[in-house]
Amino acid sequence: MTAQASAPAQGAVPEQAAAAPPPAQRRVKLRRVTRDGALTLFGAAFGALGLTWLLYERVLAFSGVLGFWLSWYVIFLLMYCAMAAVQWDRRAVADRVASVAFGTGGLLTCAIVADQIIYVLLRGGHVATHLSFSTHTLARTGSLSPLFSGGDLEGIVGTLEMLGLATLFSVPLGITAAIFLSEVGGAWARPVRTLVEAMTALPDIIAGLFILAFAILTLGMQESGVAAALALAVTMMPIVTRGAEVVIRIVPGMLREASYALGGSQWRTVWNVVLPTARPGLATAVVLAMARGIGETAPVLLTAGYAKGMNANPLHGWQPSLVTYIFNEHQLPDPNDQARCFGAAVTLMVLVLVLFAIARWLGGGKPGELSRRDRRRIAREAVRR
Amino acid sequence: MSAEMNFPHAQEMAPPDVPRRIVSRVSTGDKVFRSVVRGAGLAVFVITGMILTFLLTRAWSSFRTVGFSFFTTKLFNVNVNNFGIGALLPDGVIIAAIALIIAVPVAVATALYISEYAPSWLRRPLVAVIDLMAAIPSIIFALWGFAFLMGRMTGVDSWLARHLSFIPLFKVDLPQSLPASFTDAPIIVGVVVSLMVIPIITSLSREIFSQAPQAEREGAYALGATRWGMVRTVVLPFGRSGVIGASMLGMGRALGDAIVISFLITPVLTLTPHILQSGGNSIPYAIILDIFNGPKYVSALMAAGLVLFAMTLLINVIGSIVAGRSRSGLVNVE
């Protein structure tokens, strides 16, 4: 490591070197992984693993894998503290322990997400990848029928229809409300923004109860896909608004001013400048709201009803969806029903992941930033002229 | 010059100079646009008001029959008019509290890691992971908790019950040799619900941490602070109210979970302050269990739902105001 330090000295002019030999300067690298730092970390991790194993499995009468890793983490942090205290001063110890604690927090969160996805795929993957599973319904499946006598087609159709309708109901209203918050504003903007944020974390079951009380019991609507879509729209609309407001807000003010300077009215500016500029971000907000809406279970349970077999008409009759399908299959005791439950969970998870991937793909850049495809299109048009 | 000669009275007739009044006349199109957009904004209030009104009209007959004892009665025998949320509400609050105790430290650590510690190329993927976590359906968490976590947690639970039973919270009245005394306990629901709360708290706190003023960060470094010293003295004080607000929003979400608890717990109608012992309940759970048992149940559960809605709305509004205060100006840094 000290080898490069003498490098600048070799080209020095003789008389200067004779006058005062400049002290060897070494460039300070920020955030470099040092050998002792890394070894302390690994040492603490493996030392804690050994000690935990010895105490947990051999000496003390503990059991359970979760307890093992909890004890490991506590011992790991203590060991790391001790090993750091041997080498560094107190400030550096606090700094290092804090960064390890936060780093493991981030790692834990990522591990949880990965665990959810992988566990569901492992349990239900062999069911969901069977072609007949996603092309058949449960119409002819009884309590002791074989595993692939039915599938989750009815759930897929129901979920997609409800989600489509809910998007149709919630997106125009949600984005218009976002335009109100960021473009028009006024005295009411603050309370509206507060309420929207409060509604994003509202219990989803309340939306179901509301539609049950309002549309089904008061207006006399049937329990159906549309009712469920209305309930989903109530939960999705605040999410759309919150996401869209953030995106519209970061559209550069210069673009608006340019539009006004050219004589554009306000709605022209919003329609022709602000919204197109924010389009990728808006699409991301919408798709993220859809990914949230697709998994809402409680409102659908209360408003859509459940019946085995296909019902492709959301306006009439009980309509099964993936979430109610999982909910009902889970309550049946037969192992085949449990397997189908996990198969449908894989389908649901894949739909969420696809929506999520679309959202990331659409919302890659900042608003106004041209994607590579946009730049190619502009270049093509320039050549044509 | 020559103009004055031709029109000698021109100067006398000219009015004194006054600043021109600048009027921006709003065109009809803009007027329509603004009122439409304002209507959409106020629709949030309309929806909230409608939720309150319709739940209240449905719940009214229940409130009239049992009166104030609705808030104290622990049983839920609707057909003999002996029902209330005396057990349902506290049981739900216990679960939400467990969820928050687990979620807040993990979420704050994750948010700090993303905004302060992670290398910049890792930040965007990590934010995406948190967004993805928010999008994982609650029913997937519930399945995972039922099939994966439940069996793995009983060891920890029985250890806590054996060694810490002098704390009333950890006492278990059921026979301790049976695993079934521990399998469907509120603490397991709390752990699973905490996973649903973590992304809410993380994303809001991260947003606020990343807006801590750059100059103050640099100031802390210039005074010789380590990174942790900078976080402790600049970022955490700046983001404190944000974290509190985010936790309150998370609390609203945790109180409203219906699916996880229905997968993991056998309903009991007693107030159970023993978090390791099987059996528990909450308002949303009671709603999805009993809502289709007839009109009297509908009315009683609408009343319970109204209480839940009013409570979470209040918590969330306060949380959102508190979180918004530290984010004045609302500039998004990304």
| Polymer length in residues for chain B | 334
| Gap between the Cα atoms of A264 and A261, Å rounded | 7
A291 to chain B, any CB pair closer than 8 A? The answer is yes
- Comparing A23-27, A282-286, B135-139, the range with the smallest average pLDDT is A23-27
Q: What percent of chain B has pLDDT over 90?
A: 19
Of A219-228, B52-61, B173-182, the least confident: B173-182
Which tokens in the block code for residue A92? Answer: 């550096």
Residue from A108, A197, A355 whose CB has the most chain B CBs within 10 Å, to mutate: A197
What pLDDT sits at residue A8?
A: 45
Q: Which tokens in the block code for residue B90?
A: 């506290």
More confident residue, B32 or A315: B32
Residue B172 has pLDDT above 80, yes or no: no
A358 — contact with chain B (CB < 8 Å)? no
Query: Of A33, A239, A58, A228, nearest to B249 (Cα)?
Result: A239
pLDDT of A6 reads 44
Residue A311 CB-density burial (10 A; 0-12 exposed, 13-18 middle, 19+ buried): buried
Does residue B271 register a pLDDT over 80? no
Distance separating alpha carbons of residues B241 and A92, to the nearest angstrom: 28
Mean pLDDT in chain A? 83
Contact A62 B41 (CB under 8 A): no
Q: Is B103 on the interface with A (CB under 8 A)?
A: no
How far away is chain A from the Cα of B282, in angstroms, using its nearest Cα?
Answer: 12
Average pLDDT over chain B, rounded to an integer:
83
CA distance B63 to chain A (A): 16
Mean pLDDT of A84-91: 86
Chain B nearest-CA distance from A101, in A, is 7
State residue A19's pLDDT score.
62
Instruction: Residue A235: name the closest of A155, A297, A311, A309 by CA.
Output: A297
Q: Flag if A102 and B117 touch (Cβ within 8 Å).
A: yes
The residues, any chain, with a CB within 8 Å of residue A226's CB and separated by 6 or more, are: A165, A314, A315
Distance from CA of A357 to the nearest CA of B (A): 10
A67 interfaces chain B, CB cutoff of 8 Å: yes
pLDDT reported for residue B252: 85
Contact A345 B143 (CB under 8 A): yes
Nearest to B312 among A106, A203, A345 (CB): A203
Q: Do A198 and B316 touch (CB under 8 A)?
A: yes
Confidence at residue B1, expressed as pLDDT on a 0 to 100 scale: 47
- The residue among A187, B129, B192 whose CA lies nearest residue B184 is B192
CB contact, 8 Å: B323 with chain A?
Answer: yes
Please, what is the Cα angle at A280 between A276 and A282, to 5 degrees? 80
B36 contact residues in A (CB cutoff 8 A): 176
Question: Does pLDDT of A220 surpass 70?
Answer: yes
Q: Rounded to an integer, what distance in angstroms lies between the CA atom of residue B132 and that of residue B113?
A: 17
Instruction: Give me B314's structure tokens.
Output: 């209040």
Residue B76: φ, ψ to 5°: -135, 50
Residue position matching structure tokens 């129901």: A158
Rounded mean pLDDT, B97-106: 93
At A322-354, the pLDDT tens digits run 898 899 888 888 888 888 889 889 999 999 999
By the 8 A CB rule, do A278 and A362 touch? Answer: no
Q: Taking every pair of C-alpha atoms in chain A, what is the biggest distance, in angstroms?
A: 100
Chain A residue numbers with beta carbons less than 8 Å from the beta carbon of B119 are 31
Name the A residues in 1-60 with CB < 8 Å from any B CB.
31
Whether residues B320 and A291 touch (CB distance < 8 A) is answered with no
pLDDT at A154 over 90: no
CB-based contact, A283 to chain B, within 8 Å: no
- Our CA-based measurement puts residue B12 at a distance from the nearest CA of chain A, in whole angstroms, of 38
Query: Under an 8 A CB cutoff, do A291 and B40 touch?
Result: no
Domains of chain A: 32-124 (no CATH), 147-367 (1.10.3720.10)
Q: Above 90 in pLDDT, residue B290?
A: no
Quote the CA–CA distance of A131 and A148 in Å, as a whole number. 10
Q: Which pLDDT value is given to residue A18? A: 55
The candidate with the shortest Cα–Cα distance to B327, out of B250, B221, B216, B238, is B238
Q: What is the pLDDT of residues B147-171, one digit of tens each?
A: 888 878 877 777 777 777 777 777 7
For the CA atoms of A296, B48, A199, A201, what is the dihedral angle to 10 degrees?
A: -60
CA distance A345 to chain B (A): 7
Indicate if the alpha-carbon torsion angle A101, A102, A103, A106 is positive or negative. Answer: positive
Q: Is B144 on the interface with A (CB under 8 A)?
A: yes
Contact between residue A210 and residue B50 where contact means Cβ atoms under 8 Å apart: yes
Is-contact B231 B245, C-beta < 8 A? no
Distances in whole angstroms, Cα of residue B4 to Cα of each of B14, B16, B17: 12, 17, 19
**pLDDT tens readout for residues B62-88:** 888 888 888 888 888 777 778 888 888
Most A CBs within 10 A among B100, B127, B129, B143, hence the mutation to make, goes to B143
A297 contact residues in B (CB cutoff 8 A)? 137-139, 258-259
B126 inside 8 A of chain A by CB: yes
- With vertex at residue A205, the alpha carbon angle to CA A199 and CA A207, rounded to the nearest 5 degrees, is 55
Q: Look at residue B330 in the predicted model and tell me its pLDDT.
A: 43
pLDDT range class, residue B288, cuts 50, 70, 90: confident
Contact between A212 and A234 (Cβ < 8 Å): no
Q: CB-CB: which of B33, B38, B140 is closest to A120? A: B140
Instruction: Give the span between the Cα atoms of B25 and B72, in whole angstroms.
Output: 60
pLDDT tens digits, one per residue of A163-215: 999 999 999 999 999 999 988 888 888 889 889 988 888 888 999 999 998 88
Task: Determine if residue B102 is left, alpha or beta; phi over 0 gives left, psi from -120 to 50 gives alpha, anything else beta.
Answer: alpha
pLDDT digits (tens, 9 = 90+) for A353-379: 998 888 878 765 554 556 667 778 778
- Whether the per-residue pLDDT at B107 is higher than 90: the answer is yes
What is the reported pTM? 0.83
Q: Is B297 exposed, middle or buried (0-12, 13-18, 19+ CB in 10 A)?
A: buried
Binning pLDDT at 50, 70 and 90, where does residue A233 land?
Answer: very high
Count of A-B CB contacts under 8 Å: 300
Q: Of chain B residues 163-202, which have a CB less than 8 A from chain A?
A: 195, 198, 200, 202
Q: CB under 8 Å to B197, separation ≥6 — which residues?
A: B99, B100, B103, B107, B250, B251, B253, B254
Distance from C-alpha of A150 to C-alpha of B144, rounded to nearest angstrom: 23
CA distances to A127, A139, A347, A350, B153 from A133, rounded to whole Å, are 7, 13, 10, 14, 33
Q: Which of A106, A270, A353 sits opposite B118 (nearest CB)?
A: A106
Q: Over the stretch A52-73, which tens digit does the pLDDT of each residue have?
A: 888 877 777 666 777 788 888 8
Residue A96, C-beta contacts closer than 8 angstroms, at least 6 positions apart: A37, A40, A80, A84, A88
A175's tokens: 């984005």
Q: State the helix-helix crossing angle for A65-87 and B150-163, rounded to 10 degrees.
A: 70
Percent of chain B exceeding pLDDT 70 equals 91
- Rounded to the nearest 10 degrees, how much is the dihedral formed by the CA atoms of A99, A102, A107, A113? -160
Distances (CA, A) of B131 to A18, A122, B3, B69: 63, 23, 74, 42
Q: What is the pLDDT of residue A10?
A: 47
Query: How high is the pLDDT of residue A5?
Result: 43
As a whole-number percent, the residues of chain A with pLDDT over 70 amount to 89
Q: Would you state the pLDDT for residue A210? A: 92
Name the band, by pLDDT with cuts 50, 70 and 90, for residue A318. Answer: confident
Q: Which residues of B fall within a CB distance of 8 Å from A64?
A: 152-156, 159
Mutation site, B28, B37, B321, interface A, largest A CB count within 10 A: B37
Give the integer Cα–Cα distance in Å for A251 and A366: 9
CB contact under 8 A, A119 and B250: no
Three-class SS of chain A: CHHHHHHHHCCCCHHHHHHCCCCCCCCCCCCCCCHHHHHHHHHHHHHHHHHHHHHHHHHCCCCCHHHHHHHHHHHHHHHHHHHHHHHCCHHHHHHHHHHHHHHHHHHHHHHHHHHHHHHHHHHHHHHHCCCCCCCCCCCCCCCCCCHHHCCCHHHHHHHHHHHHHHHHHHHHHHHHHHHHHHHHCCCCHHHHHHHHHHHHCCCHHHHHHHHHHHHHHHCCCCCCHHHHHHHHHHHHHHHHHHHHHHHHHCCCHHHHHHHHHCCCCHHHHHHHHHHHHCHHHHHHHHHHHHHHHHCCCHHHHHHCCCCCCCCCCCCCCCCCCHHHHHHHHHHCCCHHHHHHHHHHHHHHHHHHHHHHHHHHHHCCCCCCCCCHHHHHHHHHHHHHC
- Residue B331 pLDDT level (bands cut at 50, 70, 90): very low
User: Taking the domains of chain B in order of start, what are their residue ranges?
Assistant: 67-325
Q: Identify the pLDDT of residue B100.
A: 93
φ and ψ at residue B77, rounded to 5 degrees: -90, 85
Q: What is the largest CA-CA distance in chain B?
A: 117
Q: What pLDDT, in 10s, does the model give residues A253-291? A: 899 999 989 988 888 899 989 988 888 888 888 888 888
For residue B179, which residues of chain A lie inside 8 Å, CB to CB? none
CA distances from A258 to A253, A263, B246 (A): 9, 9, 38
CB B275 within 8 A of CB B182: no
How far lies B271's CA from each of A256, B279, B309, in Å? 58, 10, 21
A298 contacts A209 by C-beta, under 8 angstroms: no
CATH says B67-325 is which class?
mainly alpha
- B165 phi and psi, to 5 degrees? -70, -10
Residue B315's closest chain A neighbor by CA?
Answer: A198
Task: Report how far apart, in Å, the C-alpha atoms of B160 and of each of A63, B167, B171, B229 are.
Answer: 12, 10, 9, 35
A331 vs B: CB within 8 A: no
